[in-house]
Structure 1
Amino acid sequence: MDRSKSLNLLRIMNKLIIKDLKKTYDNGVKALDGISLEINSGMFGLLGPNGAGKSSLMRTLASLQEADSGSIFLGDIDIMRDSLTLRKHLGYLPQEFGVYPRTTAEELLDHIAILKGITNKKERRELVGYLLNKVNLYEKKDKYVKGFSGGMKQRVGIAQALIGDPKLIIVDEPTAGLDPGERNRFHNLLSSVSDEVIVILSTHIVEDVRELCLNMAIMNQGKIVYKGAPQAAVDELQGKIYAKQISLKEVEEYQATYNVLSNKMVGGTPVIHILHNEDPQHGFEAIDAGLEDVFFAKLKDSNTTISNH
């Protein structure tokens, strides 16, 4: 393929359009309740608490389960009708990345490259070597993946997701359980591959989205409750967030009196963040709003809206 055709293909495939996606499981749970999003190339964060529907959306985008209705297009690929074409352009790192017990990193990537249609042995060997270098695991290529640390396994997971020059990469809860050093290395790796492709980062860890993503959405109970730039959402709350250190026995009283967004322990003592349009006095201190405040505010608003219906 010449360069002009390659650039045209890239332009065509740098947008993912999801319209009115719905999925209800047999137990009656609405995992996806009218999801609509447009996602461009770069890193896109999908935030939500456990059970919000993030993994259901990721599995649907990866064509691992069918939606009841709606549409998904990656460029001109109709994902819901043409999953085989999608998978040629998809990299996927699920929340649980399983490995064969007696398989080396090199053997695992070689096997996945075969499954993705790379039949030339020399081409596979070069590709696997390149990817192992990229994720800083080349020196461990002959070691069994089963014995790797959690962060090393995640790096293998990203390497396999990059096989086949994907245009859409989906990573589901990739930093859960990683130590701070591995988390930073993983962030750097994700950032290095997101320039010309769509990378969807699904997580419940607010810091991951704050550090990596220019655009995001927040999910709750199968719905999108916010979509936009993280900084824009934070700016909306500036001047409205107040904090106070209280005692454990006062928590319920303050929750009943104020719009408490979060309650976290600092030095063994609860510190609450509240949303208030003006200085509430009574010992509260004005603080800079953060993405975590946005997250809890949007969840609280959506829970109130849903319960009122």
Structure 2
Amino acid sequence: MAALNGTSTADEVIETFSSSVNGRVFVITGAGQPSIGSQMALALAKASPAHILIASRTASKVEPVLAAIKELDDTIKTTFVQFDLTDHESVRAAAKAILDAAPRIDVLINSAGVMAVKEYTTDKQGIELQLSANHVGHFLLTNLLVPALAAAEGARVVNLTSSGYLISPFRFDDYNFSEGAAYNSWESYGQAKTANILFAHGLSKRLGHRGITGAAAHPGYNGDTKLGAHLTWDDYAAIGPLVKKNSGIDFAFEEPRFKTLGQIAATPLAAALDPGLEGALPAYIQNCEVVEVLGHAREEEAVEKLWALSEKLVGQKFAY
């Protein structure tokens, strides 16, 4: 990759890879303000993309982002599609609306998500909420958007993940935590983040021949996005023992421990735009660099089992 690192900003990434933005079509989920997604959208708007489409739950949080994009460059086409990732009917309707608005998608960034939901919660389909919002909804959306991704030359799908994948492998024998009886908010988060990485591998394996590749990007941590606003420092202290128990390693937050709003979008944008990554994908990107993940997040058996389970959960098979 280019000379980018953990302190690089989104604007620096855009400046480095501006040719990967110009004239292209981007779809970002969960880009309400303030969020990593909104920071990515605003950074992209500085390099003349043809179209930025934001799919998110709350219109009032997205409208300021679209207005800011227009202030930066009023020639950029912008579209908002409202949907709920945890409602599969809503995801299917959103996919249709996105395909109508963008018959070609160059980059899809699956940015929406939740973290460490304290109380066991299920979605409309009965799936544990963190798995639903962070993986299953995106699995369905991405596969439904394949016609538009395949229409591009070298489309890329970026799943936002986290070093939190170290907290837990995917619990294939009990992904729904015994209907709540075995629920742990961090293990649920770790399972979902592992799924994001495995899904990138599954996508690349099935769709690489159609020019579609997947990447998983760990953006780092920033408190301004409110993703962890419900958590205390004591809550974060529980991560280390869980990583040791489930992954067998000592956990340490990577540096920089905290990133600015300008920095938090850099790594996923590098994952989306860097042409030098082609030979490395699927890959896990951290601090704008490829980092090898533990076996539970890349092993072939886990990749295949997750794909099959995800098809079961959305009620549709996707064969390519």
What is the TM-score of this pair, normalised by structure 2? 0.32
More strand by share: 1
Greater C-alpha Rg: 1
